[in-house]
Chains A and B, each alone.
Chain A
Amino acid sequence: MPLDLPAFNDAFGRARDRVRGGVQAVDVAAEQEKLRALVPADASDHDRTWTTQLIDDLAEPPPPPPVRSDLYREAVRIHIAVYPPKGTTEEKMAMLAEGRRRIWEIADRATADEEDDIRAMTEDLKSMEDWLRDPPVPLTDTPFPNG
């Protein structure tokens, strides 16, 4: 019987939330045992290998958050200044594009370790800009256009 991926994914997510949530003491070994029980005995070697590693890692502390550079923090400040944008639709699009351009410039100067994380800050800017330029649904000023 193959591994039920969605069921394992959800069970692992819940176990991780409990173990790393820090709200109350959790029996990590019991959580691991419950997850192991979800892996069928005749699962593929690949599935047995990666699930074993993942379940074992649950007992380890999560990696510390990365230490951020001044360039990263500068990019965050720009993001905060332009998102969400203000003004007319045209002004909003211009604001988002300018923010994207400035963050992208900062990423060009960042270390290889950090440049992709900095560029990722422009994803929601680009997405909103695209929606404003060519809305996939009519954008309204009030929340419930059908109500």
Chain B
Amino acid sequence: MAESAQRVPEDSPTYREFSRLYDLARQLRPTGVDRWNRELYATSGPGGLDQRTGAIGIHEPLLRAGLTRNPTDNPRRQGRALATVLNRVTQAGMEVDAPGEVNAVGTTQSQGLHEGVAAVRAANDFDVFTRSAGYPHLAFDGTQQSGAYVAANDLIQQASGPSVDRLKLINRLNNGPAVMHFDQLAEAVVRNRLQEVAPSEGADRQAVRRELITTMLHPQWDSLAQRSPEAGQHVAGEIGKALNAKVDEIRQRFQHTVQEPAADGVRQQAVEPTPVRDSKQSEVPAARFLSGVAPAAGALGQRPSLGDGSRAAVERGTATVRSRGPGESPRRWGD
């Protein structure tokens, strides 16, 4: 199903409006990368960002009739057009590859998450973007999409917490690179749930993140991306449970390491899990993870209450974190 594309002249009102909106969207959430090559195309199909050339394509009716501040009889088209601009800006604002990064994910799941991150960012920033751009109050239900949006949104929700909240995580993901999105989600999980027991920056912390990524890449990820938003919630809960168990397993392993007698014979202080505070949380561990309430909201410095996870998983968690391999380099959270 080939699509045709017509170059939009740079001196046309459509191009000027797209360019103005593009710049404004970048101001809202600045990144250090801009891959748009300044070519804009009106396409017969959905268009997209050409990953090779950096050209941007948008479905012709959206471009012509949607990107105008004049009164319109189809505000839904305006809303969709502006959301599409946000989507393209997000994708053009980050690199895809991260050469040499050992935690880079090279499967098509990275592509799915990349697509989903752009959709989540578009839904999140839509209100401020459209109002600041001078467009009227537009109704846009950014959550209506299935597939990539649902999967990315749920993973972001699961990885968010008191130290790295949803907005901070969206901002980090917005910077890319795309193949590191899973690693960025994993780092958020470490900061929100494992900070006091996880190794500091370096290969060991990288290995912890890799374990979490492997859990997120559970086959159910594909299933999640396949669901309608409603059905996706159930699978999201399943992935949340798996992540809960993995977090518990890692916590127990590092607590065990800390509890080993030190060389001078003095037993070091171990971090004990705090009791679960909310009975609903203990009934629905996945929901607890999803809602980011552990540790207690806003209680930085308190210990995460993830103590009721799968003991079987804990018992299985005997693997030790491997040492740094060739090409591994410490990564820092760039916020």
Contact = CB atoms under 8 A, between A and B. Distances in A.
Chain A CB within 10 A, most for which of B108, B112, B214? B108
Chain B CB within 10 A, most for which of A9, A23, A66, A131? A9
Interface string B46-81: 111011100000010110001000000010110011
Contacts of A65: 141, 143-144
B148 interface: yes
B287 to A, nearest CB: 11
A47 to B, nearest CB: 7
A25 B111 CA distance: 38
Given A16-B127, A122-B45, A128-B108, A136 B52 contact: yes
A147 B210 contact: yes
A144 B222 contact: no
Interface residues of B, number: 79
Contacts of A134: 51-52
Interface string A96-107: 011011001000
B281 interface: no
A8 B127 CA distance: 12
A84 B222 contact: yes
A119 B59 contact: yes
Given A14-B165, A147-B210, A9 B128 contact: yes
Given A16-B127, A140-B107, A101 B217 contact: no
A145 interface: yes
Contacts of B62: 116
A80 B127 contact: no
A112 interface: yes
A127 B28 contact: no
A51 B132 CA distance: 8
Contact of A142 (B30, B97, B107): B107
Contacts of A9: 28-29, 125, 128
B111 A80 contact: no
A126 interface: yes
Interface of A: 5-6, 8-10, 12-14, 16-17, 23, 46-47, 50-51, 53-54, 57, 63, 65-66, 76, 79-80, 83-84, 97-98, 100-101, 104, 112-114, 116-117, 119-124, 126-128, 130-132, 134, 136-147
- CB-based closest 3 A-B pairs: A140-B106, A136-B51, A50-B131
